[in-house]
Structure 1
């Protein structure tokens, strides 16, 4: 997965390259960390997510390399693009 961030002040694009395996690991660790530091009211939102289904979805996204998930351009000229 590649994340490109471009601003009008900078003349270059910042590529952030993350392998799908690191994203899946971050999801698993994120749930554990969130359950430690959130109170009961906010924890119900974390527990309502199916974390295993999210990992399966990222496995499925591996098949679609080059797919553009997000392409946002603001009025001020900032651009964010996420590509598988």
Structure 2
């Protein structure tokens, strides 16, 4: 079963403490205060729960959006889906 946009948002909300409703495809990592330590925690959760290995070489900055993160994961892992659900984009 692929890792969906909605699942990624849920994990991001859990790791960062930001309400899921505030995380959209246009939200940046800076907006949700995702620093390097939180990114490591996020990577560990993805690996443990979904078998997705968040590569150290992902080209993400604090200005990267959630859509950028989802796309990078989809390109890297067959278990990740790039497209946000229709409800997430509203």
Query: What TM-score comes out, normalization by structure 1 length?
Result: 0.29
Highest CA radius of gyration, 1 or 2? 1
Query: What TM-score comes out, normalization by structure 2 length?
Result: 0.28
Structure with the bigger percentage of strand: 1
